């Protein structure tokens, strides 16, 4: 298999994969710390919100005598529960955006502080949420109609989040920008994503098969080690995916706009 092309608009699959691997090694530490911070914040938020939720539920049940399965109980709990869910979604979106920024900065050797990235109001969480929702709906509809159209839609829109984060595009502009960037390279992107998936697939398979072969497997030091190893593989795979998407975006932007472009963080 060769990746030599005389067309400057074609994405070099092997070269992009190699760049992603090098960028992954640079970004692994910062992104791992960011994800651990996100997990800590998420758990702290769950505990903090569980206290008022539990207190309200206790007051409604014991103080007012409402049945937990009744409609009045559900209506009374709904506003606080919706606030709780909204806060968790907002935190998740902000950390998701921060991952791309930290991956970009780590690859370039820039010094970014986590709190500065998390405080950055751009892009707005509402816009980013709407973008991910639209991309998910279009991809799902494509999958329902037929698998190949769904895959092509996903490939066409895969750089939309980066276009919004790094270029300040709105929802419509990010979708159109992604379509423009990925045009004529979507089959190459599919090959790149398959190649990247194979990087962690053997390790994931080897660590999960012994656990899935026996659903009643007894927890032992060996199974505990496999669970931990499988978790680490999944952890590294998720970080690699973030780095891959940033690298793909950078390469496609360089092909379309020229290598003199500088991303705005």
> How much is the pLDDT for 188?
95
Q: How far apart are CA 119 and CA 255, in angstroms?
A: 32
pLDDT per residue of the chain (265 residues) written in tens, 0 to 9: 444 444 457 899 999 999 999 999 999 999 999 999 999 998 998 888 888 888 888 888 887 878 777 888 888 888 888 988 998 899 999 999 999 999 999 888 787 788 888 888 889 999 999 999 999 998 888 878 777 788 889 999 999 999 999 999 999 999 999 999 999 999 999 999 999 999 888 877 776 765 555 555 556 666 777 778 878 888 899 999 999 999 999 999 999 887 544 444 3
> How much is the pLDDT for 216?
53
> How much is the pLDDT for 202?
82
> How much is the pLDDT for 260?
42
Cα separations in angstroms, 139 against 150, 151, 163, 195, 210: 5, 7, 18, 21, 33
> How much is the pLDDT for 2?
42
Q: For residue 22, which of 176, 250, 247, 252 has the smallest C-alpha distance?
A: 247
> How much is the pLDDT for 111?
79
């Amino acid at each position: 298999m060769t990746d030599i092309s005389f067309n400057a608009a074609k994405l070099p699959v092997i070269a992009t994969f190699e760049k992603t691997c090098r960028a992954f090694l640079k970004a692994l530490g910062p992104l791992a710390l960011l994800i651990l911070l996100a997990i800590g914040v998420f758990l702290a938020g769950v505990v903090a919100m569980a206290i008022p939720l539990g207190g309200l539920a206790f007051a409604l049940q014991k103080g007012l005598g409402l049945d937990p399965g009744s409609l009045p109980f559900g209506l009374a709990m709904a506003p606080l529960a919706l606030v709780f869910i909204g806060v968790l979604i907002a935190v998740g979106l902000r950390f998701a955006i921060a991952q791309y920024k930290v991956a970009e900065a780590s690859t370039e050797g820039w010094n970014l502080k986590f709190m500065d990235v998390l405080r950055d109001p751009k892009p707005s969480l509402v816009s980013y949420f709407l973008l991910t929702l639209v991309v998910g709906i279009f991809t799902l509809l494509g999958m329902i109609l037929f698998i190949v159209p769904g895959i092509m839609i996903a490939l066409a829109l895969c750089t939309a989040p980066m276009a919004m984060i790094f270029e300040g595009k709105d929802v419509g502009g990010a979708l159109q920008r992604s379509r423009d960037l990925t045009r004529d390279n979507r089959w190459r992107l599919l090959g790149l994503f398959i190649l990247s998936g194979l990087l962690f697939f053997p390790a994931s398979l080897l660590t999960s098969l012994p656990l899935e072969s026996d659903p009643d497997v007894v927890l032992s030091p060996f199974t505990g080690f496999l669970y931990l190893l499988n978790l680490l593989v999944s952890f590294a795979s998720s970080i690699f995916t973030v780095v891959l998407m940033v690298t793909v975006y950078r390469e496609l932007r360089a092909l379309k706009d020229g290598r003199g472009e500088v991303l705005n963080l």
